[in-house]
């Protein structure tokens, strides 16, 4: 059975048994090519996510090092359609797979970015979603040429909002 909860300023949560799928969507006034560069270029990743490298081929390595938190994503690319879709697991070796899929679509004014996260319902879903909400805010700032540090206030506020939506 699926239970869906959505809020206008947060992502959509779909509860599918022991799994949760979160879908976060943003409309941006930048091209899909610009977004793709921010998702994949090792020089741009630290501006909004973490230092790292993503080998752009299915089976390629996806490694991101969140130095300040001690979290390291060391995964493989599981889906790739250059300029449109990139998926890897947001986990390290031996951990439960938590696929993160970035999808890009052109729009009249720019592009639509859709981030889909899959994770076990037993994990702290609110924390995961809030973390990605914060990184999407960082991405928006970086796209405008004014990178920001991790927005803890946004993280705390969205974590509380997501907590109220998790059964």
Print pLDDT tens along the chain (167 aa): 334 444 447 999 999 999 999 999 999 999 999 999 999 999 999 999 999 999 999 999 999 998 877 888 899 999 999 999 999 998 877 888 899 999 999 998 899 999 999 999 999 999 999 999 999 999 999 999 999 999 999 999 999 999 998 88
In the DSSP assignment, the letter for residue 122 is T
Rounded Cα distance between 96 and 46, Å, is 25
Rounded Cα distance between 48 and 66, Å, is 11
Sign of CA dihedral 37, 41, 44, 49: positive
Residue at token pair 């995964």: 75
């Amino acid at each position: 059975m699926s239970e869906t909860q959505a809020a206008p300023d947060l992502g959509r949560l779909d509860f599918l048994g022991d799994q949760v799928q979160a879908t976060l969507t943003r409309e941006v006034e930048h091209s899909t090519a610009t977004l793709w560069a921010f998702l994949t270029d090792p020089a741009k990743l630290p501006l909004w996510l973490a230092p790292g490298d993503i080998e752009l081929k299915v089976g390629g390595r996806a490694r991101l090092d969140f130095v300040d938190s001690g979290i390291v994503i060391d995964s493989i690319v599981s889906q790739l359609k250059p300029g449109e879709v990139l998926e890897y697991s947001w986990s390290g070796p031996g951990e439960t797979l938590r696929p993160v899929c970035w999808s890009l679509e052109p729009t009249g004014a720019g592009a639509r970015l859709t981030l889909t996260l899959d994770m076990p319902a037993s994990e702290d879903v609110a924390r995961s979603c809030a973390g990605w909400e914060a990184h999407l805010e960082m991405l928006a700032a970086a796209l405008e040429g004014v990178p920001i540090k991790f927005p803890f206030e946004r993280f705390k506020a969205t974590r509380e909002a997501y907590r109220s939506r998790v059964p």
